[in-house]
Structure 1
Amino acid sequence: MGVSSLGYIALNVSKLDEWLDLMTKVFGLEVRRRHDSDVVDLRMDEHHHRLTLNSSEIDAIATVGWEVGSMAELEALAQTLRDRQIEVVPGSPGLCAERKVKALYQFREPTIEVESEIYYGPLVSNTPFAPSRGISGYTTDGLGLGHVVFWVKDVQATIDFYTQVMGFKISDYIAWDDNDAVFLHCNSRHHTLAILAAAPGRPAGALNHIMLEAKSMDDVGYGYDIARDKGIPIMLEPGKHSNDHMQSFYLQTPSGFWMEYGFGARLIGEDWEIKSYDQPMLWGHRGNRMVAK
């Protein structure tokens, strides 16, 4: 029992128009504006939305939404959090309506110290995903939004929380230069969460990047060309990762953190063997290497 997927992420952004340009022109997401509000939801599959942009004076992650498989599992996980002396607050009907879920609980994650939500029953739209540019879509079915990577103050405490409380399992490790990365999964996606030890210039709790996985390498290639043509900073050139074999590139968002646009990651199976790798790439990914994949 525990988390079944990364369901949604909400971001506070100071450059909303630049974000919308990035998410539509490069990633091809569908914009769903809210009535009487400057909050924008972004759709990438059959779910009502997976990303939310809140116009703000600061740039920060607003919340991470973790999906669970049943109402009973939601209640059980909420109680497990309470047993750890973590304050858990039921989501109001208004908040559930905003998130488009049946029920949720809010809490402040104690190791990364990020606002978090666990929820059940996401709204699935009866109309097809309508991408804003010609793409084949995203690999989300049973796997969730993608993955998220954070710098953390205490790597082992973070591992303990996500494995003992949230139901994750370790996928593998990468150690290179002055970085040590740990990759964790909650379904067959190779990793839904990865963590890096904080260091000067890499503060604890900071969001490193968010990954979206396309259904076609052509989608990623076209997105790379569009990003280059628009002058969006490319932080890591196209390459292939050593552990999950994702082919991807990284760009810098208007908020400063990175996003990874990838394709073709291998899945975790019953016979998965945990390994430790000495570099994050098989080839490519030239550029600033201070990033976990």
Structure 2
Amino acid sequence: MFRHSPDREEEQNLSRSFSDKRGRNLFFGLLLSSGIAMLAYKRRSLSRSGVIGATITGTTIYGMGGWRSALTIVFFFVSSSLLSHFRTHDKEEIAADKFSKGSQRDIAQVAANGGIAALLALAYGTSKQPAIQAALETAYVGALATATADTWATELGVLSAQAPRLITSGKTTTPGTSGGVTPLGTTAAASGSLALGLFYWLLQPHRRSLRLLPLIALLSGMSGSLLDSILGEKVQAMYYCPTCQKETERSQHSCGTPTRPLRGISWLNNDGVNLLATAGGALVAFLLHFVMRRKLED
């Protein structure tokens, strides 16, 4: 009869303990995310499909990334939801004319803002190399910093007293136009990305490896937000309402008139742009992690 060596038995015990912990995290993640999602549904921040998306995303992030990652995406979601309901009446006309969706986020919007973060948390949880985990952790923050920057900029930028200007040409445009930026919106984007980085760092301020994380969050969040604006202006599908003579993201305008294609790639809507932007922000953070780590070591 073969006997397991002590080293082999210890390895099996550690593996079993790790699996048990992961299972508990997934269970508590399911309870936490579904509870928050249902509360958000009652407050009309999520649609029914959005509840499903938020539950899947939240469970994955808590189960694979841990409680710090989970609290960080809660910070993003709560802050974004509060801003979505801030001065709602002042935004209603712009939202009806310009935006393809309202303040109730559906599953596509949840995936666009949190999908990359969930994938990074999944990669973090399955990796066994500390150096790779540290880089994935930073990329996770970069993805959420971008989502926060974009959401804060959108929700506050449309309230700017100054007319927005297109990101590439500098021409003035109407509030809510994809690719349009304002000083208020840019300030909101910087504040959002920095706030998210600070929040994550404050959850574990004694970790020396994270002391530059707020700066990385700011840089990656603003980079992702810039990419979002460029893609929104140049390649996002935009339509024109012949009745109202207005540009919109909707294939059917709020007046009920079917719109006609104006520019951009037909299948790339705002959700697709947000997904690409968060991926870009995550990549910038991932690269900055190695650059700044090298600086710390020098």
More helix by share: 2
Structure with bigger gyration radius: 2
In the superposition, the TM-score normalised over structure 2's length comes to 0.27
In the superposition, the TM-score normalised over structure 1's length comes to 0.28
